[in-house]
Structure 1
Amino acid sequence: MADIAAAAGVGKGTLFRGFGDRTGLIRALHESRLEPLRQAVAGGPRPLGPATPSISTSNAGTGPWFSGPAAAASSSA
């Protein structure tokens, strides 16, 4: 938390007042990063929008995270 506070130019107390603890900070970062994906799934065009069948939406939204070597190995088996 000290490194994060220093990089942000604030004191540790400011971080703790804003986020409570390290977990609160991580949750806030996680939520802010996922908001664009949530918006795309809720109202965006294909392949993530509401008119897309659920399995296609799931694959389009998670593909970048699960397309590594393990995914390739399991799909060829």
Structure 2
Amino acid sequence: MTRGDDIQRVSVYLVGAILHGGQKRKILGELAEVSQELVDRTLSSLAEHDRLKAKKQQQGAFHRERCRS
């Protein structure tokens, strides 16, 4: 299954829920909230990855410098 398939499935589910329940604003509000949480967590994870990568590179540079001495 591809990302496009997942998006299509969620879209069909949302349209069905909106048409059946008539709670368009509530459903779309919840979707926006969950989407923002996903974006926030992704950005946080990327920042942590970058921090750890920089720390690892810094430790490697320190080790190489020590070995030269």
TM-score (norm 2): 0.36
- Structure richer in helix, relative to its length: 2
